Amino acid sequence: MEVILLEKVAQLGDPGDLVNVKSGYGRNFLIPTGKAVRADEENKAEYEKRREALISAEADRKDAAIKLSESMGSLSIAIKAPVSEEGTLYGSIGTREISEALIEKGFEIEKSAVRLPEGVLKEVGDYTIDIELHPEVITPISLSVSASEES
């Protein structure tokens, strides 16, 4: 299936690129989320008219992500969770908990932007995790997981 990208998609292309993707990926993710449109003749003609505006909008999103990254600076967040006597968490700390902690600090970060390459965190300790604010803007933050008082 051919689609025209409306915004930068990691490992796929930039706004305005005509790319070939699997039908399910296009129908179920790219098109419904507004990241792409079907590449028919009408959309190709419309895109040529809107090309500069799309590229400008993508540049604005990147600039906003860079400013947010700079304001996050060397941000450090702490999460407390119940732990066992061995020091392992009863549950786990995932993207949702990290996103909620960032929101408490005043940063509106969706959980899909939090990158945990080794999966959820199951032990007490200090971690460095990445926040993907834009496909080209990734900010590392410090995360400290400690035992809560009621453990």
Share of the chain above pLDDT 90, in %: 50
* pLDDT of 15: 82
* pLDDT of 48: 80
CATH topology for the 2-68 domain: Ribosomal Protein L9; domain 1 (3.40.5)
* pLDDT of 150: 63
CATH topology for the 75-147 domain: Ribosomal Protein L9; domain 2 (3.10.430)
Rounded CA gap, 18 and 3, in Å?
Answer: 6
Q: Would you say the C-alpha torsion 56, 60, 65, 71 has a positive or negative sign?
A: positive
Lowest mean pLDDT among 21-25, 50-54, 60-64, 131-135: 50-54
pTM above 0.95, yes or no: no
99 SS3 class: helix
The three-point CA angle 64-70-72 to 5° equals: 105
Q: Fold match between 2-68 and 75-147?
A: no
User: What value does the mean pLDDT of the chain take?
Assistant: 89
Rounded CA gap, 73 and 69, in Å?
Answer: 6
- Tens-place pLDDT, residues 75-119: 899 999 999 888 788 889 999 999 999 999 999 898 889 999 888
Q: What is the mean pLDDT of residues 59-87?
A: 89
Give 9's DSSP letter.
B
Q: Is the pLDDT of residue 151 over 60?
A: no
Q: Is the pLDDT of residue 69 over 80?
A: yes
Q: What is the mean pLDDT of residues 118-142?
A: 91
Q: For the chain, which residues make up each domain, given as ranges?
A: 2-68, 75-147
